[in-house]
Amino acid sequence: MGFARLLSIRPSPTWAVFLFLAINSASVNAAQLRIALQDANTGQAVADAVLEVHIPVAMQGDFSAQREYSVDQIEKEFVANVTVVNVGSRVFFPNSDDILHHVYSFSPAKVFELPLYGNGRSIDFSQIFDQTGVVELGCNIHDWMLGYVYVAETTLAIKTDENGQAVLDGVPEGTYTVSVWHPRATEGSPELQHSVEFSDAEPSTLRLAVNLARDSRLRRAPNVSRTRYR
């Protein structure tokens, strides 16, 4: 019986330590970015801002993934208003409304126009975003509909929540530029580019205040007509 025991391989404290080290080594040299963003004028939290960590091109291969995303159309708004994708990803544009929408973009990073379509067929329509940049979405029927697809170089980009906060894990150690983008951030705002040192010893925290232009977006038109376009 003692002999049989010698031959069997069982989990032991030694194995457990080995396993722990093996799992942990995969995340060694990964740092965390923590963000808190507020409006420089009002002090209010800024949601829907995108922060991107710009790593050298040679490193980007390890931080790329072609994923699938969805920008819905709900009650004549794009939902979410800002969607962060990494380059090469596909974005679907479902239409959850019982009316027709006509999605387009004139942005250099992705010029496209989807057919006019309503609820039901909408999953058929998608686009691959193969250039970095901000793509502004509009609807030919509803002028106030405005949305954004932020196409990042890598997966190292994240959007602030309603508290103006975001946490990005898995950033490689090193010093990189972190950019801040928001649809209403004013040009020349001093807080839009930062050099940040990342270390796995402790999170890198950015507490930022940005200047935002007033929200000049056209409010939705009153629902005076019941045509299929409204």
CA distance to 32, 95, 107, 114, 120, per residue, from 124 (Å): 37, 10, 22, 10, 9
Residue 124 Cβ vs Cu ion, minimum distance, rounded to whole Å: 17
Q: Which residues, listed in sequence order, are joined to residue 7 by a DSSP beta bridge?
A: none
Comparison of 81 and 211: residue with beta carbon closer to Cu ion: 81
Comparison of 45 and 141: residue with beta carbon closer to Cu ion: 141
Which listed residue (141, 146, 196, 206) binds Cu ion by CB under 5 A?
Answer: 141
Residue least distant from Cu ion (Cβ):
139
Look up residue 52 and give its amino acid. E
Q: Does 101 bind Cu ion (CB under 5 A)?
A: yes
CB atoms within 10 A of CB 72: 17
Comparison of 101 and 159: residue with beta carbon closer to Cu ion: 101
Residue 182 Cβ vs Cu ion, minimum distance, rounded to whole Å: 23
CB atoms within 10 A of CB 51: 25
How far apart (Å, rounded) are the C-alpha atoms in residues 216 and 230? 22
Comparison of 67 and 121: residue with beta carbon closer to Cu ion: 121
How far apart (Å, rounded) are the C-alpha atoms in residues 110 and 100? 22
Residue 22 Cβ vs Cu ion, minimum distance, rounded to whole Å: 52
What is the residue-wise DSSP string for 150-163? EEESSS-EEE--TT
Which listed residue (84, 110, 142, 176) binds Cu ion by CB under 5 A?
Answer: 142
Look up residue 200 and give its amino acid. D
Burial 13-25 (b: 16+ CB within 10 A, else e): eeeeeeeeeeeee
The 144-163 contact track toward Cu ion, x by CB under 5 A, reads -x------------------
Comparison of 110 and 142: residue with beta carbon closer to Cu ion: 142
Please identify, among the stretches 78-86, 94-102, 127-135, 195-203, the one whose residues bind Cu ion according to the rule CB under 5 A.
94-102
Residue 97 Cβ vs Cu ion, minimum distance, rounded to whole Å: 8
Residue 100 Cβ vs Cu ion, minimum distance, rounded to whole Å: 7
Closest CA to 63 of 133, 127, 136, 158: 158
Please identify, among the stretches 62-70, 99-107, 121-129, 220-228, the one whose residues bind Cu ion according to the rule CB under 5 A.
99-107
Q: Which residues bind Cu ion (CB under 5 A)?
A: 101, 139, 141-142, 145
